[in-house]
Amino acid sequence: MFNGIKGWFGWLAINQQCVLCHQLSKALVCPYCFADLPRFNMQNEAQNLLCNPKILRELKVINFDRLFAMSEYQWPYSYLLSGLKFNRKVVFAQALSELFCHLELAHTDLPKALVPIPLHPSRMASRKYNQASIIGKNIAKHYCLKFLPQTLQRVVNSQAQTRLNSAQRMKNAQGIFTMAHELDVDHIAIFDDVITTGATVGAAVDAIRAQFPDIKIDVWALCITPERR
């Protein structure tokens, strides 16, 4: 059936399962599931979701220059992210990275480095990995950006933002980051998995701009989720 050992390994390489529908697929998300993905049309948004009034209404902090994300937070992104964060399905990080990179950003005026939002050391110790850092590293490699996971340090182990309203999120995020390493570029992207009010990435922007007031900062995220009211 197979042409020797080489044929066997070739069969294995192209016959993994789609992480969403489980049919055999060369890609982690098969072409059928990929075609069915909800996503923003970044061409309509001029490659900047800050041009989208609905998203502007959701954000409570806008202290950065541009915003890029794949979609509103919904299935299958919610399934993949919760599986990665809470069930240690690390293959989902690769799937999410590939989805983000498939939605090609225009290769003009790209940032020169990508800075992931860090976890607090105590949360890192319990979870063992930072999903934003794993996915961010893959994305930085795809776009040939420097990957700078040490730039920001989370110095306050703030309460998880999920159950807070927007005012609580703003207060909860104040001063949670400091800069731990210098930057030698004039344009970066801060990367986080999901953005709600912008309070967390806004605190990261504040920490960086306190030392580099003229730096251009884009925010890249997998998803944007409407605030719970």
Would you tell me which residues interact with Zn ion (CB under 5 A)?
18, 20-21, 30, 33
Helix (H) or strand (E) holding 24: strand 24-25
Minimum distance of Zn ion from residue 168's CB (angstroms) = 38
Residue 225 CA to residue 195 CA, distance in Å, equals 6
Nearer CB in complex with Zn ion: 30/145: 30
Minimum distance of Zn ion from residue 32's CB (angstroms) = 5
Residue 136 CA to residue 174 CA, distance in Å, equals 23
Q: Judging by DSSP bridges, how do beta strands 66-72 and 216-224 pair with one another? A: parallel
Nearer CB in complex with Zn ion: 28/219: 28
Nearer CB in complex with Zn ion: 91/155: 91
Residue 191 CA to residue 57 CA, distance in Å, equals 21
Minimum distance of Zn ion from residue 31's CB (angstroms) = 8
Nearer CB in complex with Zn ion: 97/200: 97
Nearer CB in complex with Zn ion: 30/50: 30
Determine contact, residues 20/90, Cβ cutoff 8 Å. Answer: no
For residue 193, which phi and psi values (nearest 5 degrees)? -75, -50
CA atoms within 13 A of residue 201's CA, in its CB half-sphere: 30
